[in-house]
Amino acid sequence: MSAERIDGKAFAADLRERVGAIAADFENTAGRKAGLAVVLVGDDPASTVYVRSKGKATVAANMASFEHRLPADTSDDSLLALVEQLNNDPAVDGILVQLPLPAHLDEQTIISAISPDKDVDGFHVINAGRLSVGQSGFVPCTPLGCIMLLTDRLGDLSGLEAVVIGRSNIVGKPMAQLLLDANATVTIAHSRTKDLPAVVRRADIVVAAVGRAHMVKKDWLKDGATVIDVGINRLPPAEGEEKGRLVGDVDYQDVADTAGAITPVPGGVGPMTIAVLLRNTLVAAHRNAAIDLAEGAI
């Protein structure tokens, strides 16, 4: 049997549309648009593309986008001053500082300076803490997008065995926390895990967030497992190609007959990240303006 393809692109388009409709209502009620400020330091080509597409998606969802581009040699102090200005700006509901920052800047210091109530990326330690004790805060966009895809497909995750491969602060750890909150039995695997294939074979749900092309093969999977592939890896260009193909951490072709369902790369988890960022910004706007947003509306 061939695995069902989990269409993250379509799910994300639907989420962006719902966010756009609620953002229009927000504007009518609040008398202003919900606003997202994105700060880009330097001119890393991939970051420049991400920032541009975040800006476009924000405007398309009836929200205001404020883009701040700073030169690569910006000092900690000037970046902190900008963050402080955005923290105090009532038109700004969400602040995102595009990572990675140039090496001379301290990412933790900068992220800690963002007001936790405007930290729509969910990277501030206060929001990591809120997630771990079950208080409402902001959850990192990529894992929140993954849990949305999982609950959409599987419904109740109670008692399911979930294995998260990767333990980063932005994907693996919050992903495991969300699965735990959904009552799954969770294992976090990582670079030091012994016999990784045997660990992964226990899983009803596999989330791969490593950054190694085609690492997960079919003999790693239990029959019918649901696979969420977070990895984004560029293969070396094949003959006649200018750029190599983008692939995930899971060997999609290889696992197609074993997995029950799987997210493709591209078109799976990737599009969810920006859609959830818009969702988090709209949630922040409602909180900042003290306007109720029905539980589970977005």
Catalytic residues, which ones? 54, 98, 121
Identity of the residue, 191 or 253, whose beta carbon is nearer to ligand NAD in the bound complex? 191
Identity of the residue, 26 or 50, whose beta carbon is nearer to ligand NAD in the bound complex? 50
Binding test (CB under 6 A) with ligand NAD, winner from 167, 220, 260, 264:
167
Tell me if 199 contacts ligand NAD by CB under 6 A: no
Region of 159 (left: φ > 0; alpha: ψ -120 to 50; beta: rest) is: left
Identity of the residue, 82 or 165, whose beta carbon is nearer to ligand NAD in the bound complex? 165
Binding test (CB under 6 A) with ligand NAD, winner from 70, 211, 218, 287:
211
Give the per-residue SS3 of 1-52. CCCEECCHHHHHHHHHHHHHHHHHHHHHHHCCCCEEEEEEECCCHHHHHHHH
68, 37 in Cβ contact below 8 A?
yes
Which window, 39-47, 67-75, 230-238, 287-295, contacts ligand NAD (CB under 6 A)?
Answer: 230-238
DSSP H or E run through 215: none
Tell me if 140 contacts ligand NAD by CB under 6 A: no
Which window, 102-110, 122-130, 168-176, 218-226, contacts ligand NAD (CB under 6 A)?
Answer: 168-176
Question: What order of strands is seen across the sheet that includes strand 94-97?
Answer: 64-70, 35-41, 94-97
Tell me if 105 contacts ligand NAD by CB under 6 A: no
Tell me if 263 contacts ligand NAD by CB under 6 A: no
Distance, CA of 269 to CA of 252 (rounded, Å): 14
Distance, CA of 12 to CA of 33 (rounded, Å): 21
Distance, CA of 100 to CA of 40 (rounded, Å): 9
39 CB neighbour count, 10 Å cutoff:
22
Tell me if 190 contacts ligand NAD by CB under 6 A: yes
Tell me if 95 contacts ligand NAD by CB under 6 A: no
Which window, 22-30, 124-132, 149-157, 191-199, contacts ligand NAD (CB under 6 A)?
Answer: 191-199
Which window, 164-172, 216-224, 254-262, 277-285, contacts ligand NAD (CB under 6 A)?
Answer: 164-172
Quote the tokens at residue 48: 């420049």
Quote the tokens at residue 236: 């070396």
Provide the binding-site residues for ligand NAD, judged by CB under 6 A: 142, 165-168, 170-172, 189-191, 193, 196, 209-212, 230-233, 269-270, 273
